[in-house]
Amino acid sequence: MNDFETTIDRISKEQDPAARSRVEQFIVETVRALPNLTTKQGASLAIQLLDAVQLADAAGTKGGASTSNASSLPDTFDALTSLIGKLDVRSDSEWRSFGFQPSETAHPLMIAIPEIEIFYQHTDVEPGSDDAVAPDFQENQDMWRRRLGSVTEPNLIYKEFSGPGKAQRAVEMLGNLWKIGVVVSRNTESRLGLTRVEYTPTPGEVPVPLMSEKNCWYSIRVSETIGENQVPEIVRCLGEIFCGYLPQMWLKEPVKAGKLRIQESEAAAYIAMARLDLSPRTGNTTWTNSYISTRPLSPAFRWDVVLEASHQLENLLRGDTGPVTATQSAAG
């Protein structure tokens, strides 16, 4: 799991726990705010934005640059998310198509995934003419959040799990669960969702639509008592699979399990749901309380695994991927 190695290195550079927490938040919230980019692209851009923040701070500070990029970030989580909510970062080609060009002091941001592309913040471009106008950036991001993949398969049986106002979205997203062999049902015994393996497929086997608990690969059971948090809990349970806490039947080299099953799966769901226009979990949990504070997360928390898991969650639920195929290793 090396796709987010640069992200982990950047987080590890912060020796001060509060500064490290703020850098983690900045990267994660930037990824959540930019669904037009992949998770890896968003993380890469966030790291460069941190450098841009430091350069701007250094330019306005007498006596030299600050010793930490994080020192230039807002002191509170709410202020940080407000800052990120004002981002307007577009590719050089997009700015030019709207009649803008980089200023002489522009700070270019480079994304090399899969090919090199230059981006600029709105503060680093200037209009080439009086009639240059760029469409609203946040409206554009909202459109990306609502995007459905080419292999989306809505399933009305999931309408009963959704809260008010998001029923159609839940039907669209959860209708794709069969592609990894998942079936969701009710469980009134626990307020925490339960995920387990029901069947280990043979190599080459492919899940089929309208699977039941009798022939599914995984079952997820949620409690009706959690109300509008049923969909967030289903997504968190999926996160357990993608974070390696249950065997991934379709991978030749499955992700290894960590030590923080609930926290890591919740973090993966937190990122994916924001990018998918799914309603977030209401109320705070142990993980969210720790994440939004200045207290450092456990050293055992694996941001690289979580970010990749959120990417896989998004691809599945949005409908960007087809059904998986069981591998030899899945059969043991």
The pLDDT value recorded for residue 329 is: 56
Tell me if the bond preceding 280 is cis, omega within 30° of 0. Answer: no
In this model, does residue 96 exceed pLDDT 60?
yes
60 has pLDDT over 90: no
Whose CA is closest to 120, among 54, 69, 51, 49?
49
Mean pLDDT to the nearest integer, 227-254:
93
Please report where in the chains the tokens 């994916």 appear, as a residue: 272
Sign for the CA dihedral angle at 160, 162, 164, 169 comes to negative
65 CB contacts (<8 Å, ≥6 apart)?
54, 55, 57, 58
Q: Write down the pLDDT at residue 164.
A: 61
Collect all residues with Cβ–Cβ distance below 8 Å to 286 and sequence separation of at least 6.
262, 263
What's residue 152's pLDDT?
A: 77
Q: Give percent of the chain above pLDDT 90.
A: 60
Q: Which amino acid is at 179?
A: K
Cβ neighbours for 277, distance < 8 A, ≥ 6 positions apart: 142, 145, 146, 169
Instruction: Please tell me the predicted confidence (pLDDT) of residue 63.
Output: 43
Could you count the other beta carbons within 10 Å of the beta carbon of residue 145? 18
Contact 150, 319 (CB under 8 A): yes
Residue 112's pLDDT band (cuts 50, 70, 90)? confident
Average confidence score pLDDT of the chain: 87
According to the model, what pLDDT value does residue 1 have? 44
> Could you tell me the residue ranges of all domains in the chain?
5-146, 156-331
pLDDT tens for each residue of 23-58: 999 999 999 999 999 999 999 999 999 877 754 444
Residue 65 has pLDDT above 50, yes or no: no
pLDDT at 93 over 90: yes
Question: Which H/E stretch holds residue 310?
Answer: helix 303-318
Least confident of 108-112, 135-139, 162-166: 162-166
- 176 vs 165: CA distance, rounded Å: 20
pLDDT of residue 62: 43
